Structure 1
Amino acid sequence: MGRGFFANPIVLHDILCTCDGVVLGSTALHLLLLASHTYSTSWLPTNLDIYVPFWLENLIACLLVGQGYCLHKPASVDVAVYAGTSIHSVCAFSKGHYKIDVIISANAASIAPVFQFHTTAVMNCVSADHIFCAYPALTMWAHSHVNPMLLYNGGLHCKATAPLWKYMSHGFTFKPCVKSHRFRYACHNKTHTVTDGGCMWVDLEMFPHVTVTQQGAGRKDPYASWTRETEMTT
């Protein structure tokens, strides 16, 4: 998952472990969809979004600078694509054409913003030892609902609809809810949480493969293990 962004993919795992961080957005979705039997990931993520608790902002900045990334001015939070206030701030890092956005959670949980995204398609995250998907019954079939809170908080204006078009171009279909609501492509009756039975948790420690790297021979790369295992079963 960190390939390209870091010379050694193990570095991303170590950063997530040290900073209690999670990867969300298109990178997490891309890794998750490698296990889908009905979807071909013909696209690649263009940036990496790492979410960390607010008290670890300085630590992750130091770790990324140590990997050769440059910190830019703090980016403004585009509230148009969120349905809540769990985002404290955003810091942008770059190295060449690689870009990493560090999103600072407003509370103690890095995963808190996951349910505030624009659609269920990106309500997923990858930590140092787990993969989480909030709506696997939709996501693994390249289906999605719009987050109804965006509709209730002001409607789908141009900034909020841009991500919808993005994932439609990636082959996602926005499905109507089976129940009758005012908003055709949203369901506000079956909101998931991290603890209910409708979510999916994958323990990466279950995958036994070991990836040998130049800087860390014999160290386990759980993300490569997930990739290899899913390739063997598809």
Structure 2
Amino acid sequence: MHLCLAQISTATEVFILDFKRITALPQQFVRILGERRILKVGTGFQNDGKVLFEALGLTIRSFVDVGWLTRLAFPERYATHIGPLSLEVMVHDILGHDLDKSLQTSNWATKYQANDQQIQYAGLDAQASREIYAALLLPVREKEQSINRLIRDDWFIFDFVDGEARTYASGKAIALAVPHDSFLMSQQIWVQMSGNANNPSVVNQNMETPLPAVDPNNVESKVFNLLTSYDLPPHEFLDSLDETRSLVSGSAALWPLLDWEFYPNDVDIYSPEDTAAAMLDILRHRFRFTIIRMQITQAQTSAEYPDYLGVRRVYWLKRRHHTLNFIVVDGGNAAATIFNFHSTIVMNYFSGTRLYCSMPELTLRKISAPNINLIDVSVDCACRTIGCIYKYHLRGITFRYGRHIAVHVCGSDPICPATLRTLHDNAGLVIPFPSRVGVVQTADVYDGIRSVRWSLGGPHCYAPNISYVTILERIEVPRHDEDADTEYTSRTNLLN
């Protein structure tokens, strides 16, 4: 990469250096780049920092990439955006203006001096980055307040020493040999969220507090109120879930469990491929939802191991201002996909008769273990997961890996990645809906049920581990009757 131009913008002026024309490097330029007290903001600076060192031997201190901050300020919007956020996208989304991208890709390496249009674009480039940064720091929303805190605590300020990026706070070198910035971003977000994971005193203190009792009547009431608010008649909708072996997961299954101020803004429905058409027909004709979009894609799962996901299609449905996300999954048990989700906080679902929480010891304490190794993650995966995880971090969820949560027995404790779990082990919590305990399911429903065997992904206690999900052969499943529910849930000792 050739070094052609460098531009620096202040509040009132933009200075452009044309390296094809200058014979000596301005010392003020060198001082500004190396001065820690002067914050430099821009986009995609990893490569620029390397080029400035290789061409001129420069050290750059106190740099912030506004692309990372934009992802942090709006995690939901950019959670599935693959690749770096371009300046053009950020100018449009944050500042509400359009930037002429054609000038960005013009020939800057010509032997002649840059033309007026190129100079104008270079100036706008520097000015736009500064304006985006200023806009993100406005104390308007809770997320932007969080951005201020991250900058103040130096989590997202970097130095470039010997062409190598280092965190400002620790001085630790960070690998740059990646296609785009999402990998580096995911590392730093995880460091910020988890804090000093090797000193987990706060988490240990939370784990020592008694678990809050779970009242099935209260859980059912919250589920029914949620469904009613989405124009879904509770009993009729839950019957439909049972008829088609479908499940509701995501925040709609978490909200009934927690004393939480964040109300779900959509409902995620997971349906096996062999019954999905029937469930979709029910949503459209019985409950009068309209399909607004369909995509053959993956849902918001860990996305690191696509072979395990089994997501066939995703439909977005609306009725008035209500949104349903309808996810068609492979196999006979829709729960298999749920255990590929980004972290344990969303490994919950409700069916027609009960709500299942896979990790009650953590979830009820608002603690979550990631289902992926965020320090050694694929680039594509980082884009899909970090926005989702950060969203729950902003909602008060504490994230730690199992080995940093509590002392445990490897291979048997639910929080350990070496432990093999099933849907019907003693570690999960099953909360029956009291008004539906007597609901009788057809034999066809039971014929189609297969259990799920799974383990957490992420750093193993002794070695890296990947998530593991598979569907077992057909096994005997406890009937949805009062005796079975009482026997199962009493082992967790959590229900009132």
User: Same fold by TM-score, threshold 0.5 exceeded?
Assistant: yes
Q: CA deviation at 1:179?
A: 6.1
- For residues 160-200 of structure 1, the C-alpha deviation after alignment (integer angstroms, 9 at most, x for no partner) is 100111111111000243369xxxxx952235321222111
**Alignment match of 1:147 (pick from 364, 371, 381):** 371
More deviation, 94-103/78-87:
78-87
Q: Give the SS at the match of 1:178.
A: helix
Residue 164 of structure 1 is matched in structure 2 by 389
Q: Which of the two has higher C-alpha Rg?
A: 2
Q: CA deviation at 1:91?
A: 1.3
Residue 195 of structure 2 is matched in structure 1 by none
Residue 97 of structure 1 is matched in structure 2 by 321
More deviation, 19-28/3-12:
3-12
Q: CA deviation at 1:149?
A: 6.5
Q: Distance in 2 between matches of 1:144 and 1:153?
A: 18
- For residues 85-105 of structure 1, the C-alpha deviation after alignment (integer angstroms, 9 at most, x for no partner) is 222221111112111111111
Q: Which amino acid aligns with 1:194?
A: L
Residue 194 of structure 1 is matched in structure 2 by 423
Q: Distance in 1 between matches of 2:436 and 2:230?
A: 23
Residue 230 of structure 1 is matched in structure 2 by none
Residue 225 of structure 1 is matched in structure 2 by none
| Structure 1 residues 179 and 171: alpha-carbon distance in aligned structure 2, compared to 1, 3 A threshold | closer
Residue 211 of structure 1 is matched in structure 2 by none
| Structure 1 residues 132 and 162: alpha-carbon distance in aligned structure 2, compared to 1, 3 A threshold | same
Residue 214 of structure 1 is matched in structure 2 by none
Q: CA deviation at 1:7?
A: 5.4
| Structure 1 residues 191 and 162: alpha-carbon distance in aligned structure 2, compared to 1, 3 A threshold | farther
Q: Give the SS at the match of 1:104.
A: strand
- For residues 68-118 of structure 1, the C-alpha deviation after alignment (integer angstroms, 9 at most, x for no partner) is 210123124246633432222211111121111111111111211111000
Q: Give the SS at the match of 2:339.
A: helix
Q: Distance in 2 between matches of 1:175 and 1:7?
A: 36
**Alignment match of 2:294 (pick from 51, 56, 74):** 74
Residue 116 of structure 2 is matched in structure 1 by none
Residue 229 of structure 2 is matched in structure 1 by 4
**Alignment match of 2:283 (pick from 48, 64, 70):** 64
Instruction: Give yes or no for contact 1:118–1:150 (8 Å, CA) kept in 2.
Output: no
- For residues 127-148 of structure 1, the C-alpha deviation after alignment (integer angstroms, 9 at most, x for no partner) is 0011111111100000001002
Residue 19 of structure 1 is matched in structure 2 by 244
How many pairs were matched up? Answer: 199
**Alignment match of 1:55 (pick from 267, 274, 297):** 274
Q: CA RMSD in A?
A: 2.7
Q: Structure 2, unaligned stretches of length 5 or more?
A: 1-222, 406-414, 438-494
Q: Distance in 2 between matches of 1:203 and 1:64?
A: 24
Aligned positions of 1:123-138 closer than 5 A: 123-138=347-362
Q: Distance in 2 between matches of 1:159 and 1:110?
A: 21
Q: Distance in 2 between matches of 1:6 and 1:18?
A: 19
Q: Distance in 2 between matches of 1:27 and 1:78?
A: 19
Q: Which amino acid aligns with 1:30?
A: W
Instruction: Give yes or no for contact 1:69–1:95 (8 Å, CA) kept in 2.
Output: yes
| Structure 1 residues 105 and 153: alpha-carbon distance in aligned structure 2, compared to 1, 3 A threshold | farther
Residue 32 of structure 1 is matched in structure 2 by 257
Instruction: Give yes or no for contact 1:135–1:192 (8 Å, CA) kept in 2.
Output: no
Q: Give the SS at the match of 1:157.
A: helix
Q: Distance in 2 between matches of 1:121 and 1:63?
A: 29
Higher relative contact order (CA 8 A, sep 6+): 1
Identity across the alignment (%): 23
Residue 102 of structure 2 is matched in structure 1 by none
Structure in which a larger fraction of residues adopt helix: 2
Residue 46 of structure 1 is matched in structure 2 by 265
Q: Distance in 2 between matches of 1:75 and 1:64?
A: 17
Q: Distance in 2 between matches of 1:89 and 1:103?
A: 6
| Structure 1 residues 148 and 62: alpha-carbon distance in aligned structure 2, compared to 1, 3 A threshold | same
| Structure 1 residues 80 and 56: alpha-carbon distance in aligned structure 2, compared to 1, 3 A threshold | closer
Q: Distance in 1 between matches of 2:346 and 2:253?
A: 8
Aligned positions of 1:214-225 closer than 5 A: none
Q: Structure 1, unaligned stretches of length 5 or more?
A: 34-39, 181-185, 209-232
Q: Which amino acid aligns with 2:400?
A: K
Q: Which amino acid aligns with 2:234?
A: P
